[in-house]
Structures are given as C-alpha cells and as structure tokens.
Amino acid sequence: MLTRELQHTIDERWDACWPTSKLRPIVILDFVSYLFFIRKTSRDLQRQNERGNKPVYFFQGTKGREEIRGDFFSDPEDHNIYSLFACENGTTELEKEYAQHEAYGSFFKTGLIMLPTPKLLENALGINKIIEDVHEDLKGAVFEYLLCKTALIDPNGHAYLPGYLVELLVAAAQPGAKDFILDPSSGNGGLLVGCAKYINGKNLKPLNKNISHFDSQKLKGMESDITSLRIAGMNLMLHGIDKPELKLLDIFSPLNSITNEDATVVIANLIYLPGENNRNVEANTGGNIIRKEIYYLDFILENIINGARCVVIVPDIILYQVATEFVKLREELIENYKLDAVISIEEKHFPLLNGAGVLVFSKETSSSTDEVWFYKLKNNDVAFHPNLNADNLEGLAGQKDDVANFLGHFRNKEKFKESGKGFYIHADQIRAKNYNLSYGEYSSLTTPMPSSVHSITIKPADLPKWEPKRVHKATSLLQPVSKVRSGLIIDKTTVKSLNWQKSLDLARKAFPSKVRATLSIVKANIKSPDWRKLFERARETFP
C-alpha cells in the first residue's frame, strides 16, 4: 500500500500541472508514458553500446546530433531537456529514430497529444522519478494511483474503467493459467493487468507485490489510439510484465485479424464518450455509418472460437434500443450464443458509466440461451476513491457487499440462485420483449411484495358466476314505450265495451307516471267516446 507521504508527493507533482491536470489530465499521462519509453529505449540501446563496438546515437532536433544516454532524463538540471522538444522538428526526429526499436518502437508511431510546456515537462519528469525510486513491488500501485485520480477519456473518446469495475469484469471472465486472453480495445491496459493478477493468485486485491512468473504471451491487447497504447504498455510493465503483447491496430479495417492464436477469453471495455466523432465509424463495406460499440461487438462475435468466454461492458443504449442493428445484435447473442448474465451498473462517480451493462456470454457448439441472470450493481460516491478514511469506509463496505453478491454468483450459481440475489429471466420472455436486455424491463416482474402487504388466495369456486347483463329500465327510452304499444294492441282486441272511460283506465295502468299525466290531458280533450280514437291519439303521442 502507498503511504500517505508518498501519495502527498505524487499529488504535489500532479497538481503542479494545473490547469492541465483539471482540464486535460490525459495529457499528463500521455507525456509521462512517452518519457518512460524514451528512457527504456535509451537504456536498452546503451546496454547494446556497452556490449558492442558500434555506438548508437539519437537526434536532438535537426540542428545537431548528440548522444542521449539512459540517464539523460534522470536529472533535469544537468541537461537542457526542454530544447529537445522545443526545437524545430525535435519530437519528429526522436520518433523516427525510436520507432525503429524492436521492443518499444510501436509506442512511437505517432506523437504527443500536445507539446509540453516547461512546467509540464518538469513535473512529468518528477512523476517518472518517483516511480523510478519506489520499491519494485510498489511501481504498479503508483501508476494505479495516477489512473484513479480522475476520470480519464482518451483522444478517441474511450473511457477508462475505475478499478472496481475492472475487478468485476475479470472475476466474471474467470481467466485461468491455460487461457489465451484478448482485449481488442485495451485502453489503459487495466483489464489485461487485472487478468494477470487474477491468474497470479492476487485475487484482485491492492498490490503488495508485482506479478511474477507470468507468461506475457498469454495476454494480447489491441488499441487504435497511440496514447492509450503507451499508457497500457507502461501499466503492464510497471506491474511486472516486461514484454507486453500490445499491437497498434486499425480494428475497423476488414484486412486485420485479431490474432494468430485463438483467444479462449475475450474481455473488453466498449464505453465511449457520446458524440458523432467518437461514436460512429465509416465501415469499409458500402460506406455505412456504424457505432463503434456495434462494430467491436460484431468483431468479437465473428472471431471467437467454440468454448471461448466473453465479458464485455457496453453503454445502456445497446441493451434496449429498438433500431434494427441493436435488435439484431441482441438476437444474435440470445439465439447463437449462450448469454449467461446481464449486470446493470449504477455509477454515481463516473456519469458516463451510469446505466452501462456487463454482458457475460460464451460460444458453445449448437447452443442457445436458456435463461439469463439479471443483476443491478449499486454504487456510491466512494466507488474508487484513492484516499479512504473513516468518513467513507461505511459507504465502501456497502459497495463491497454488493460486489460480494456479484462475485458469489459466478463462484456458486446454484447457491445464489436459491438465495434470490438478482433474478433469472427465461429466453422466451426476452424474445417477447424484442430481445430487450434492460434490467428495468424485468425487475418489476420479479419484485417481491412488501412484508406489510398480505396476499389473499382466491379460488375459482369463490368467484361469482357470470350472468347476462340486465338492462335497467332507465337505460332505454324506447323500452317503456314499446311495452305500452304492445299492451294497447292487446287491450284493443280484448276490450268488449265501447266505454272510453275503461279504455283510459287500462292505458293509465300500462303507461308510466309521465305518460299517465299526458293521458289525462288527452281524456279532457276527447269529445267523442269512441275508444278507437282514444287509442289512435295515444299512438300518435307515443310512436
């Protein structure tokens, strides 16, 4: 663990780069890693000089040549280092020369994000000096501390994952010593380092010792951004992986293949900053515009072999969007692969990761998804804070309980299936929801009833029997009139007396109260006692 004093020393160097440290922190890490590989290359070539007769020199701009020894950057006061970068074409000449190096040449294919100021150069050298001076077992921990100081996004819009999410993705992948592990979007190399720790028996705890006796050929990373490639290379080397297998690759070119070997574990972070420049790419087939996340996922699905395990974190839009390309991708996962789990991330510290989903799936011969485990990982403000104290340890403990539930599922699925941690959804239900993989789409179906609410079981025999609907007499205006008319017709055939008084009495009984009042008026106006006229008048009044 890093001491408070060491953390304070690193903070001083970092904060001295203000405003770069606040506005563009990735610039600092880019330059730190750039200097790291210049020193590595210089020392390597210096050793070659000592063993051979032919000296190796490096350019100092175009105005002259001067040998740069391995300790050239160790003491800024003894060398005019800034002139190396400030002079015309200084970095260009450096990159041309260093790019020829067999081991580290790929880290100099392109230049820095921006040329350093004297202040940035001084403090970047200071950070490298701190890393150089600490014990070998702490070098990786120092770099992890730098990575967690702020949310970092590379120039291509790729967001770096905080440490706890690296831990979870690696635990879900469960890499083994015999696995060949591939990260097609390696970013800062955190997932590859996490896999190496996991295999090395570190269980993803904070490092006390570096990784040792690990076959670096088992790890392979690819990255299309040179800044991330340099940072990932430095990260892996400081953790004890001397020869990192990192490749600068344009993954969107169809001529590129993932690897010469077949990966048995694929792990990837596909979280990108929103924005057309970072989210979309132009495919080489037909000039279609495709989101980076979709292209990477298609790329992975097309290249993994039978038996391979995959863990990928994607933005929430991949889980629920109804556009054709999204639905087709989710359908592919359900029908042609075995989708084991979808973990929803609730992240307060890094808004870009809030709502993201972790997809855990595998490729097996003639298999499809049977049921999917859904889980929501709730996080808090102390998610990956480097300075823990008594005020935030309680929140971190709550987070660790949530993490423990997640890890327990992958260690013993049957046990956690019975305990009710998360919930399972059958593939048929997912198909019925247009292959929606959003946690919220199914959580309401499995939410247990509060203990204060008592459920009542109703048997079918207790339900009332169905009866035809009865029409209330007030619901129809024609019903009483039709009954009266039929009554008048009957009365007409049965009346023997021509006494109109009796006929009116019969009509009053048949008609409702309002009709009776009208008949009284009729009675008063009828001068003839003819009962036929009476009925005709009634019919005209009530057709």
pLDDT in tens, 105-155: 889 888 888 888 889 999 999 999 999 999 998 999 999 999 988 788 988
CB-facing half-sphere around the CA of 372: CA atoms within 13 A: 32
pLDDT of 526 over the 70 cut: no
pLDDT of 395 over the 50 cut: no
- In the sheet with 423-426, reading across from the earlier edge strand, the strands are 246-248, 219-223, 181-183, 265-269, 309-314, 357-362, 338-346, 371-378, 423-426
Per-residue pLDDT at 445? 74
- CA 212 to CA 217: how far, in whole Å? 14
Taking a C-beta distance cutoff of 8 angstroms, is the pair 219, 245 a contact?
A: yes
Question: Does pTM top 0.85 for this prediction?
Answer: no
Residue whose C-alpha is closest to residue 267's, from 369, 165, 335, 356: 165
501, two tokens = 């008084």
pLDDT of 388 over the 50 cut: no
Three-class DSSP category at 542: coil
Per-residue pLDDT at 25? 93
Region for residue 180 given its phi and psi (left: phi exceeds 0; alpha: psi -120 to 50; beta: otherwise) = beta
Of 81-85, 210-214, 432-436, where does mean pLDDT reach its minimum? 210-214
Of all residues in the chain, the percent with pLDDT exceeding 70 is 63
Q: What is the mean pLDDT of residues 497-513?
A: 63
Q: What is the mean pLDDT of residues 528-533?
A: 62
- CA 358 to CA 375: how far, in whole Å? 10
Cis peptide before 450 (omega within 30 of 0): no
